[in-house]
Structure 1
Amino acid sequence: FLFLSLIQPSPVHVLSIDILLVSLWPSEEPVDVVYTEDSPDGRISMNCRARANPPASYRWRRDNWEIKLMEQPDEYYSLVGGNLVITNPRQKKHAGTYICVARNIYGTVISKEARVKFGFVEEFPQEERDPVYVKEGQGAVLLCAPPKVWPQEVTYRWIFNEFPVFLYTDHRRFVSQKTGNLYISKVEAQDAGNYSCFVSSPVTGKSVFSKFIPLIPLPPDDADIRVKFPDTTAMLASNITLECFALGNPIPHIVWRKVDATDLPPNHEISESGAVLHLYNVQYEDVGGYECEAINTKGKDWHKAWLYVESAPEWAETINNTQIDIGSEHTMRCVASGKPFPFIRWYKDGYMKLCSKRNQLSIWLKFSSLTFDDSGMYQCIAENYWGIKYANAELRVIACAPTFEFNPVRKQLLGAKDGRVVIECKPRAAPRPRYTWTKGKELLYNNSRISIMFDGSLEILNATNNDEGMYSCFAENDRGKSNSSGYLTITEATSITEPPEDTEVKVGDEVILRCAASYDPMLDITFIWAIDFRVIDFDSEWEHYERVMVGEDGSGDLRIKNVQIWHEGRYTCVTQTVVDSDTAYADLKIVGVPGPPGVIRVEEIGDTWVKLLWTKGADHNSPIISYTIQTRHNWALNEDDWKDASTTPTFLDGHVEKVEVTDLYPWMEYQFRIIATNEYGSGEASIPSLKIKTWDAAPVISPTDVAGYGGRNGEIVITWTVSKPSVHVT
């Protein structure tokens, strides 16, 4: 077998590719290299090593063409161990996709693809930049016109008058990281000066800047969006930036929104200037239209574009190391998710396997009758625009005579009287052997009670004491034969003698569910309890459930303390020994006060009345007798100041789900809630309704404390006190 060894990359221009010829892929993935031709190192080193016994040999491919290193020396390529070194790399000759191939007698695997790319940053043109004249209060755009750069992940800044004085951006000044252009929404006198576009590449480490540009643009005064983000496709879980900036006087205000949604996604952040919308950890639900609107007192402008989210391949189902008999059928299948749909391909021993079948996101290899030639290292590769995913496994086809060394027939076998007994026979053998069974010296044949199953196991139905004895399994194929034996003992069957009974209990009470069984005294018995087929965990649920200790009479009762509504359900008692088991059921019904009624809806509103609708809540196995309507108004002293309301009809029986609340005050804000009552008492109140305000009406209470007195220059001053409704006086 071959085992993984990780090689740490050297600090400069090193691509680490780790090869694995066993069941697991290395944790460190290949890393693409971006090489700059002015690099002081002058070489690219790609590491590839596999710990193998016998040692692996190595070859390299570039763009699927093998690099000839063994036959003749090369002035650029050299092989050191398994590592490929490229000296004085040149873009036209050495840029491309590289794969390392490791091989020994057990098979061949290929590494993850590693791309070598050449980065560059060209200089700005040396021609003088034309000046632009602009009036104060107008907007301005200074074009960067950046030179050719690769890769295109660069940052833009602007020099103001002299290096290294960089322009500070704010709500009035904005630098687009898409185009490099500088936008000034409202030019002021202090903006006069010379500007230079500064481009930095974090990959190559190189920076360049343009000739200085004097300031002069002439845009309109109203809001005019000049920076418009395009339709954008983002990778799942990535961060993206949408830019939107407007010119105008006064300075426009930028508003962001998501089309057909009340709010922007929670994972958003808007820059201080409002011109940039950041979306972090983008998810599929963030897909949709995004709109920015620029507004000032003279007008507005808006722009809308779409965000699409896609994802790299991920394995939903993949392959594993497999050892399988010669002549067997076998299917290897890979299933991948991703957007767009990943393309899936197969390799065997480093070469593409063409005899595969596809079904949308899955692809499989099917073997109708395995041969030794099918043994080897298989790799499944899923790839789309956003990435590539590898899975690999070894398929080993074996042939051997039957042997019980690793899985003999159990020496001591147990079976329950009148029950079903299965004695397993699972030798290691390839191809599949023929099976025969004996009891003592008697050769066994299939009949109505005894049968030899396809996998070699022996099945005995309705077992009796006469079935006790020594059983032997014989396995034979074209490579040899072997046998293994065990003694079968028949025990008394396990049977529940006192099953639990259906029970009704009130909330807060205690109940015991009985369960007793008869069983063979030579065996140990276990009682397992479950509610609605969920096994009860007595350690974590001790506050309510307690196991009554098993006595000599074979009982295992269940005590439920402080019974609650959620304890209602079907309880199962399972009595189990190592040989057999028995099961009994009982239903536990819980009675108690009603649950809260459903959502309240205000159907109509008047000046002193409203009509309410609601839905019935849980009655908890006792019919609802009546409902009580309560109100709370905006003059309440505290949040819990609920009062019983007047209704029509006055008494609300358990079948009512609609009522008119009366004796309310006009132009008052109210909320309502409902409480249900049955024979066990009143339950919890419903969730309060939305706040509503009754219609206005003529006053029904006159002001009090009316008084008057003479003022200056023939004036009369009249004072009074506004009377509050008596219901609010405490």
Structure 2
Amino acid sequence: LLKLERLFLHNNRLSKIPAGSFSHLDSLKRLRLDSNALVCDCDLMWLGGLMQGYARNGQTQAAATCEYPRRLQGRSIASLTVEEFNCESPRITFEPRDVEVTSGNTVYFTCRAEGNPKPKIIWIHNNHSLDLEDDSRFNLFDDGTLMIRNTRESDQGEYQCMARNSAGEVKTQNAMLRYSSPPAKPSFIIQPQDTEVLIGTSTTLECMATGHPHPHVTWTRGSGEALDRSRHLTTSGGLYLQNVTLQDHGQFTCHADNNQGSVQATANIIVQAPPQFRVIPKDQVVLEGHTAEFLCEAEGNPPPIIAWTKAGRQLSQESLHTVLSSGTLRIEHAAHHDQGQYECQAVSPLGVKKVSVQLTVKPKALPVFTQLPQDTSVEVGNNINISCHAQGEPQPIITWNKAGVQITESGKFHVSGEGMLTIYDAGQADQGRYECVARNSFGFVVTNMFLTVV
């Protein structure tokens, strides 16, 4: 259409033509609108201006004549003056008045305006045009009256009527809607709901209440604990929990209070946490035939299950391996084949945590002397040390006998932890044969030496 040069619309009984209908026809050379029923009122003044422009530039030939009103019948639209189009700017004939309304009732704002053409009525609330299609409670009658059904607190404020037509616009004074509500105890609009949240993330428990006076909303922990004000932030719409921890697991209660009463609602925060070890097992060295225990405890939500493996395989049910309810692995009567690497696994739907430990099983062994005591002599009144060392599994204990009687600690004798016998202030009575005995749970060995006192 941009290249359209001829447009003939005569003899089509056209009475009105929307403003701007030909504004995009830049290549137009001829336009015929004659022999129609055009009403030359204010709505068609734009066409008169367009045709006068065509006449001035001489590039477009245009014809259009008035049929109505009778006084203008047969006149070329291009020849009409602004006054002959009989435009009349809107004027307000009845202004809206202040009203007072209680909750849930219906209110009317009346506005009347005149002008040519008939002005359109637009309503403004608190300096914003009302979108009547956005809220079914609002209705605009043909005479300009605004009806508001089921009024609520958000409807209060200033209302203004604006009348607009092609000749201009005019506004009324502001009318005030004052909202009053009978006293009412609080009731919840939104109640908090049980919420699952992953540890370390954030969430909001929503809670909103209505009432008159407007209720005050506060929060408490279900267990009576105080809120952590550094992470638990009260907002207009609820309670914001930041960087959730396991300590947040549990009940939170929303309280709404005014001078008419109070209500409360409780919701659970269910903190989901991947497994974490609370007790980590340590490497063990045990003697063959003894019991080994590996402590392993984990926490999380849901609570993790503890499972043990050896060299990547599950433990045999027939073996002497027992996993206690605490997660501890007990190995009774440890044997050489029990030696190796074990893995504790904390398993939950949120993940698996693993830790490895080593079990070393030492075989039993009879004591064996590594240093034998030698015959020796000592002068009367001197002290003497006699060495005797042994090894075995378990490590043997050294004791000394003389004449079949075990030597005990006294001011005369001392046996060190390594098995060395010390005799203080030697005398003739100390001369004789001494036995060194190395003993463990697997057996014992005996050797002897002779002490000469000179």
Q: TM-score range by the shorter chain?
A: 0.3 to 0.5
TM-score normalised by the chain length of structure 1: 0.27
More relative contact order in 1 or in 2 (CA 8 Å, sep 6+)? 2
TM-score scaled by structure 2?
0.40
